[in-house]
Amino acid sequence: MREITADNLAALAIGAGILGTGGGGNPRVGMLTALQHVKAGAPIRVVGIEEVGDDAFATSVGGMGAPVVSVERLPRGDEPLNALRALEHHLGRAFTHLIPGEIGGANSMRPLIVAAQTGLPVVDGDGMGRAFPELQMDTFTIYGVPPTPGAICDPRGHVAIFDGIAEAQTLERYARAVTIQMGGAAGYAFPPMDAEQLRRTTIPGTITLAQRIGEAVLGARNGRGNPIDAALAVSGGRRLFHGKITDVERRLEGGFARGIVVIAGADEDEGRTLHIDFQNENLIARDGQGAVLAVVPDLICIVDQDSAEPITTELLRYGLRVAVLAIPAPELLKTPEALAVVGPAAFGYPDVAYEPMDGVFGVGAHG
């Protein structure tokens, strides 16, 4: 067990942004909210998965909706808390632990805020090891945790509770339909998990991993090396490309931000181009001839070429000078069951085979 400090939060925001692979929303607003809680003396406790007792009863909390919405409409800050309370009311039982559904992006911070609001500890781990656009794309669901009961809540306190739904894709459809009607963004709480489910399905140590990536980047920015190399050293990734963004095509479809970004290479990549397709997150990176260089579930991260500051897809624009990093996916995302849900075919690329990268991501990183 450790308590999250103000410095931890600053580092975590950077690391979670990088692991967000362009999606999951910017962690910055959530980080500032969590920071207020820490400064006000509300402790945010993080516990390793191995510290969780047999009587644990946990749920993931966070936000759902297109990140582009949250840029224009700030959350109130208590949406996930209200979703948690609605779910507890429905279950007639209180939760003992929280866990991030996705460590990538803004959903890294929301469980920490709810932890400060409730006093509940947060499990060091998550269900994605990155960010994904849909609810069912997490290891909880992939490895058989029932998706409901679950609750969503909007900034006006409007609550929808879902129950009796066996397929996470169905919950995803229902909850997203309501989220769109709620204005495009909502807080959520689901799925409820007992200790066995939590231990079996969690990608361990990802809060600490995100924090370490951020610490490495911040350390390098303060003169101890190159921020991008520092991020790669901790995450086990490699530099895929660097250059200038020359085109961004984007459209909002069914609550998702979809599009393509084109990057013209610089320096050693001069004369080449990279095309990245995204659906909230970066999904597939191809060279000018269409050859696949990296593909989901491996992480494709666009960062500022100097500071390694992560750049979310909604902030991509002409002229940004960026580096593109590829980071191997955690092992729990590489099984056949997982690839059926988060592999290239699941995102509309049936002809692209997933070729895993080598790497150490997700192994023994929790502390």
* Binding site residues, a second copy, CB under 8 A: 86, 89-90, 153, 156-165, 170, 173-174, 177-178, 180-182
Instruction: Give least dist CB 160 to a second copy, A.
Output: 5
Is the CB of 159 or the CB of 294 nearer to a second copy? 159
Rounded CA separation 123/329 (Å): 20
Query: What residues does 155 pair with on adjacent strands?
Result: none
Evaluated on CA atoms 239, 241, 245, 248, the torsion sign reads: negative
Element (H, E) at 269: none
Task: Compute the least distance from the CB of residue 157 to a second copy, in Å.
Answer: 4
Nearer to a second copy, 22 or 184 (CB): 184
The nearest distance, CB 177 to a second copy, in angstroms, is 4
Q: Cβ of residue 150: shortest distance to a second copy, in angstroms?
A: 10
Using the minimum distance from each CB to a second copy, give the nearer residue, 170 or 226: 170
User: Do residues 329 and 129 make contact, with C-beta atoms less than 8 angstroms apart?
Assistant: yes
- DSSP for 219-258 reads HHHTTSS-HHHHHHHHHT-EEEEEEEEEEEEEEEETTEEE
- 151, containing H or E segment: strand 150-153
Question: Is 118:81 a contact under the CB 8 Å cutoff?
Answer: yes
What is the arrangement of strands in the sheet containing 281-287, beginning at the earlier edge strand? 292-295, 281-287, 273-279, 256-265, 238-253, 321-327, 299-304
CA distance 15 to 267: 26
CB of 342 vs a second copy, minimal distance in Å: 22
How many CA within 13 A on the CB side of residue 77? 14
Between 32 and 177, name the residue whose CB sits nearer to a second copy: 177
The residue among 169 and 226 lying less far from a second copy, judged by its C-beta, is 169
In the complex, the smallest distance separating the C-beta of residue 156 from a second copy, rounded to whole angstroms, is 8
d(CA 108, CA 203): 13
Q: How far is the CB of 254 from a second copy (least distance, A)?
A: 12
Q: Which is nearer to a second copy, 183 or 219 (CB)?
A: 183
| Shortest distance (Å) from residue 155 CB to a second copy | 11
| Nearest distance in Å: CB 163, a second copy | 4
* Cβ-defined contacts of 265-268 (< 8 Å, 24+): 265/241, 266/242, 266/321, 267/242
Rounded to whole angstroms, the Cα distance separating 170 from 48 reads 31
Q: Which is nearer to a second copy, 162 or 354 (CB)?
A: 162
168 or 302: CB nearest a second copy: 168
Q: Closest by alpha carbon to 255, among 311, 177, 314?
A: 177
Closest to a second copy by CB, 69 or 316? 69
